[in-house]
Amino acid sequence: MKALTPAAAWLVLLLAGLCEIGWAIGLKYTEDFTRFWPSFWTIVAMIASIVLLAWSLKALPVGTAYAVWTGIGAVGTALLGIVLFNESREALRLVSIGLIVVGILGLKLVTK
């Protein structure tokens, strides 16, 4: 794959994180991979997430990219869990999710 500018790498990493959210939420709908279309789209999202993460690593440090990728996935999945599956909305949980967001932003600010 073609090398990326740092700005493009961050965009690719964001897309990788969104795909991470997609496959994590998708797992809930696959019913142990017994439902074809949810399973198919979950696997597509898994592959896309890894490929996009790998592409972003051409311009970003691996530690930063991996932490941001998993952070986006964790935050997005937790928030969608609240919205889609009526998971806990307790204050400490929301503050903890917010701390992950602060960590992601901090890594972005200190990485060129």
Amino acid at 26: G
Using one digit for the tens of pLDDT, what is the confidence trace for 31-58?
999 999 999 999 999 999 999 999 999 9
Distances, alpha carbon 111 to alpha carbons 13, 44, 59, 106, 108, in Å? 13, 29, 11, 9, 5
Q: What is the mean pLDDT of residues 1-9?
A: 89
Q: Would the pLDDT of 3 be above 90?
A: no
Amino acid at 105: L
- Residue 93 is predicted with a pLDDT of 98
